[in-house]
Amino acid sequence: MTVTVASGKGGTGKTLIATSLALSLDEEVQFVDCDVEEPNAHIFIQPQIYKKEYVYLPKPIVEDSKCTGCGSCAEICQFNAVAVVKKKVLIFYELCHSCGACSLICPENAIFEVDVEKGILEKGEKGNIEFWHGILTVGESSPTPIVKALKKKINPHKHVIIDSSPGTSCPVVEAVKGSDFAILVTEPTPFGLHDLDLAVKMCEKLEVKTGVIINRAGKGDEQVETYCKDKKIPILERIPLSRKIAQAYSKGIPLVKAFPKFRERFFLLWKRINKEEL
């Protein structure tokens, strides 16, 4: 069973939910933190990191002495990362997706590729949890390749919990894609509802079943509850708005350790998801 914890809006409590779920299970589980731009699940799980892998992607380099400025490379690029100005090739690396088309199409073999470090994958353990997270290299754009590299580490014979980044952009789509279930974390506010709707539509496109957890419940309005009822999306849990929960979280103390009553609730939630009793 692979469960991804996602949310349209940032700051709703994805990591709070994902880490609580992992720490509530007695069986072996893989935890994969796919928020590679700012991973923080390790703060709460506190794994012993013992393995590091570097992720490299090819980047095109133009050999000016061979280039004739024909423009074939700019024509073939689907991401507008290559331009030819006055027969000189300009490459915008922030837009480059390392597809290799420009080097393949060049009739003069004037474009070659060099490997550039994109990020790092780290593996660790904590009890029954096999932990993975990725760290995007500072200054690099497009975290999706790191997310793809992380998902290749998934063991199909284990239960997997994926903590995705906020939003509904490419890295989130990559994290959710192929999951058995997506837990969408939201808050009872107009902003929370707006971004929850985007996340629900994303999961519908990906054909991934969803359930909603409302964090900071008890304040705000009832629009999220009404939306879920109308869309027939199960509300899996309601985490109350609590200063004590916020204080524990700010100190890096997991919810299920600060408030043990939640451990049983998350354990039962996992069982319900696995048995599809929703």
Tens digit of each residue's pLDDT (9 = 90 or more) over 40-78: 999 999 999 999 999 999 999 999 999 999 999 999 999
Average pLDDT, whole number, for the chain? Answer: 95
**Rounded CA gap, 236 and 276, in Å?**
12
Query: What is the reported pLDDT for 44?
Result: 97
CB 96 within 8 A of CB 79: yes
Q: With contact defined as beta carbons under 8 Å apart, do 142 and 97 qualify?
A: yes
Residue range 64-109 forms a domain whose CATH class is alpha beta
The pLDDT tens digits of the residues spanning 229-270 come to: 999 999 999 999 999 999 999 999 999 999 999 999 999 999
* Whether pLDDT at 277 is above 80: no
Q: Parse the chain into domains and list their residue ranges.
A: 2-55+118-274, 64-109
Contact partners, residue 225, CB within 8 Å, separation at least 6: 188, 214, 235
Confidence (pLDDT) at 219: 82
pLDDT at 278: 58
* Averaged pLDDT, 11-30: 95
Q: What is the mean pLDDT of residues 139-160?
A: 93
Residue 276 has pLDDT above 80, yes or no: no
The predicted pLDDT at position 141 comes to 83
Dmax (CA) of the chain: 70
The pLDDT tens digits for 125-146 are 999 999 999 999 998 888 999 9
Q: What pLDDT was estimated at residue 11?
A: 87
**For 187-220, how does the pLDDT look when each residue is reduced to its tens digit (9 = 90+)?**
999 999 999 999 999 999 999 999 999 999 988 8
Determine the pLDDT at residue 191: 93
CATH number of 2-55+118-274, picked from 3.80.10.10, 3.30.360.10, 3.40.50.300, 3.30.70.1350: 3.40.50.300
Whether the CA torsion 18, 49, 247, 189 is positive or negative: it is negative
Distances (CA, A) of 157 to 2, 22, 28: 10, 16, 10
Residue 99 has pLDDT above 90, yes or no: yes
Structure confidence at residue 64 (pLDDT): 93
